[in-house]
Structure 1
Amino acid sequence: MHIFDYSFLDEGLLPAEIVNLTATITAFNAISDTRKESNKSIYTELEKIARVQSVKGSNAIEGIVTTDARIKQIVDGDSAPLNHDEREIAGYRDALDEIHSKHDQMSFSENMILHIHETMTNLAGYELSGKYKTEDNLIMEIDERGRRRVRFTPVSAAETGEAMQQLVLAYMDARDNPKINKLLLIPCVILDFLCIHPFSDGNGRVSRLLSLFLLYKSGYDVGKYVSFEEQINESKDFYYEALQESSIGWHTNENSYFEYMKNFLSMLYKCYKELDKRFSTVNGKKLKKTERVEQTVLNSMLPVSKAEICDILPDVSPSTVEAVLGKMVKTGSVMKLGQARATKYVNAKYIK
């Protein structure tokens, strides 16, 4: 069985890119903490948007989708889920809300992980909701010809309980080591969780919820204001490449965590950059309202809807937002995606 040991994080032999990313993220986090104290209303609006994008993004990675309008209705509790996919979406909403609101009272443990899985899957009627897998599973992929191949063989069902126990104990041991940077520890734990693949279904979504939880416990709350899940969804090909690269040789303890660590930290860095841009836009009191609308769209790496812009800029009328968006589409500075209520706008430079 794989030996869970994070002592390599205490050896100081980390790639310079990872060390630099960690330092930059730490600096961004300190700036955000300072801003948040004196700009609570702005952060409250950003939180509302991120909540919807997190639920949408994490489920979209797994192919669980519905319209943007339905996502918002379900996340806001304005409508009950109507089918299996929407029950999956509502379940993720419930688990996400619990982590956002109760992380201070929760501890990383097997019971906590099982509880998060149960909360996430209960509405969808999973037979093994909140329980480890009872049969061995495989991580497969399908090539362009429709042929399946095994991408990774996780821990067997018989060994899952012991593996999860060792994972939690190894995390606790490393967490209590003052020489180990907690931010570097998180992606290592998440990679090991994904290699165990303890559940018959929902492992990817649980891994993202655990990422947010462990970030909270380590003092990083950016995922509350900019969707970490959506960043992964936007670059999921790179995410899966990093995951595969770092899982090679995992069973025999010959794998390297560095590619997955770098990808994880890069996604987190993008979240802080996005938060910085959104804050600067919303807080740009010297700019005209039309300029603030323009900057909101141009500074966002993700497509944004008219409604989301109105949420970010509550003092700007919807008619003004609509007029500015129309002008920007005509000049070609932004691209219009989707139709009717699903319409979103994105900086043209992000469209290849």
Structure 2
Amino acid sequence: MKAFDYDTLNHLRMSNEVIKKLTTIYQLRGETSSYAIDYHEELEKLVAVAKIQSTDASNRIEGIYTSDSRLKKIMTDKVHPHDRSEQEIAGYRDVLALIHENSQYMPINTNTVLAMHKMLFKYTGDNWGGKFKDINNQIIAQYADGHQEIRITPPEAFITPELIEQLCQRYNLAFEKADISPLLLSAAFVFDFVSIHPFRDGNGRMSRLLMLLTLYRSGFEVGKYISLEKIIEDSKGSYYEALAASSQGWKENQNDYLPFIDYYLGIIVSAYRELIDRIGIFHNRRPLSAEQMIIKTLQQQLKPLARAELVELIPRYSETTIQRCLRKLKREGTIKAVGSGRYVKYVIKN
């Protein structure tokens, strides 16, 4: 019988890197603790951007997507979803909003998990939304080069309800005891949830929503302003590698949580640093022009960005202004286009 050792996390041996990341997260949380008061207006803009990015990224990881224009309309509830993908996107939007607005009323228990899953699939018409799986399944890792691998065969369907109940109980007991950092407990909880794979579909998305919820309830709200899901999507290969490394010996209660915890904490560090960078862009001593902000953003992101991504990352300026400045910077040879048509992205020209 699978058990959850949340007193020691299977006698977890903390690495120097994990200790460093924990220390950094607590420091960054302290550094940003006054933002809600000092930068209220700016944070509201970041919340709106993060909601879109989180909904888009978490679904794209599972191969679910729609056009940018449709996505924005779905996020503002201006259109009805017209296909299966948009129905699932709308469901994620609703669960995400619920967590943002009511996390303090959402205990970590079976009822919350089932209610979230039911809401996730409420537009699809599936009769298994909000119900644990009734057939056995497998956890498939999908890699960037297109190949798939079976990561683990989860426990059988009949034992799933009991495992989720035990998982929540063990998490809550350890959280109340506070002998282990809530960040480590959050990571272990999310990892074990994915490993149980309790539903027919939506397990990955549910794990990312539970990541946000457990972090909220632990006092780490960076996921409200910066999309954790997008950071995970951008590092999807490392995500699957960490899952695979921590899966070895899971059914025998001998798995090492450290690889996944290390990855998980890295996501949170990245989110806090991005939050600080974004607030810094808002409040540069001498306000940057749209062209300067485009260059600064491309330098910080270290990857090609589409026009829509730049518009989201630079909410101070309109889409028309961003588009005009991109043309100018390209003409001057400061940036170059990668790709063409609707898939064109921009990068600093060496």
The answer to whether the Cα contact below 8 Å between 1:297 and 1:347 also exists between their aligned partners in 2 is yes
Relative to structure 1, the CA distance from residue 348 to residue 12 in structure 2 (aligned partners, 3 Å threshold; closer, same or farther) is farther
Tell whether the 8 Å contact from 1:64 to 1:85 is kept in structure 2 after alignment. Answer: yes
CA pair 344-46 structure 1, distance change in 2 beyond 3 A: farther
Deviates more, 1:190-199 or 1:67-76: 67-76
Shift of 1:146: 9.5
Contact preservation (8 Å) 1:309, 1:321: yes
**Do structure 1's residue 276 and structure 2's residue 272 form an aligned pair?**
no
Report the equivalent of 1:325: 326
Normalised by the size of structure 2, how large is the TM-score?
0.91
Partner of 1:202: 202
Q: Which secondary structure state, in structure 1, belongs to the residue aligned with residue 127 of structure 2?
A: coil
Tell whether the 8 Å contact from 1:139 to 1:154 is kept in structure 2 after alignment. yes
Cα distance, 1:232 vs structure 2: 0.7
- 1:45 Cα deviation after fit: 0.6
- 284-293 or 70-79: which moved more? 284-293
CA contact (8 A) 2:335 2:346 kept: no
2:260 matches 1:260: yes
Residue 167 of structure 1 aligns to which amino acid in structure 2? L
Task: Tell me which residue corresponds to 2:52.
Answer: 52
SS where residue 299 of structure 1 aligns?
helix
The CA distance in 1 between the partners of 2:241 and 2:315, in whole Å, is 40
Query: What is the CA-CA distance between 1:339 and the residue it aligns to?
Result: 3.3
For 2:315 and 2:6, locate their aligned partners in 1 and report how far apart those are by CA, in whole Å.
46
State the secondary structure of the residue aligned to 1:78.
Answer: coil
Q: Provide the rounded CA distance (Å) in 2 between the counterparts of 1:268 and 1:147.
A: 28
The offset of 1:313, in angstroms, is 4.9
- Structure 1 residues 144, 219: CA separation in 2 closer, same or farther (over 3 Å shift)? closer
**SS in structure 2 at match of 1:3:** coil
Residue of structure 2 equivalent to 1:71: 71
Over the aligned positions, Cα root-mean-square deviation in angstroms equals 2.6
Question: Secondary structure of the residue that 1:176 maps to in structure 2?
Answer: helix
Give, in angstroms, the shift of residue 326 of structure 1: 2.2
Aligned to 1:20: 20
State the AA in 1 paired with 2:341.
Q
**Letter of the structure 1 residue corresponding to residue 185 of structure 2:** L
Secondary structure at the counterpart of residue 151 of structure 1? strand
Shift of residue 111 of structure 1? 0.1
- 1:293 is displaced (CA, Å) by 3.8
User: Is residue 305–residue 346 contact of structure 2 (8 Å, CA) maintained in 1?
Assistant: yes
Unpaired runs of at least 5, structure 2: none
Residue type at the aligned position of 1:193: F
Q: For residue 299 of structure 2, what is the aligned residue in structure 1? A: 298
The correspondence of residues 1-352 of structure 1 with structure 2, limited to 5 A, is 1-8=1-8, 13-140=13-140, 150-290=150-290, 291-300=292-301, 306=307, 309-310=310-311, 313=314, 315-316=316-317, 318-330=319-331, 331-333=333-335, 335-336=337-338, 339-340=341-342, 344-346=345-347
Q: Which runs of 5+ in 1 are unaligned?
A: none
Distance 1:80 1:20, change over 3 A: same
**Secondary structure, aligned partner of 2:14:** coil
Contact 2:228 2:268 in 1 (8 A): yes
Secondary structure at the counterpart of residue 213 of structure 2: helix
SS at match of 2:140: strand
Residue by residue, what CA displacement relative to the aligned partner does 1:140-170 show, whole Å, maximum 9, x if unpaired? 3589999976431101111111111110111
1:316 and 1:141 map into 2 onto residues whose CA distance is 39
Report how far residue 269 of structure 1 moved: 1.3
TM-score (norm 1): 0.90
| Contact persistence 1:284–1:292 (CA under 8 A) | no
Cα distance change on mapping 1:144 and 1:257 into 2, 3 Å: closer
Cα distance between partner residues in 1 of 2:18 and 2:106: 29
- In structure 2, do the counterparts of structure 1 residues 121 and 42 end up closer, same or farther at CA, with 3 Å as the change threshold? same
Are the structure 2 counterparts of residues 142 and 117 from structure 1 closer, same or farther at C-alpha, using a change threshold of 3 Å?
closer
Q: State how far apart, in whole Å, the 2-side matches of 1:145 and 1:30 are.
A: 40
**3-state SS of paired residue (1:249):** coil
Change (3 A) 1:311 1:137: closer
Do the aligned residues in 1 keep the contact of 2:114 with 2:131 (CA within 8 Å)? yes
Quote the Cα distance in structure 2 between the aligned partners of 1:112 and 1:35: 30
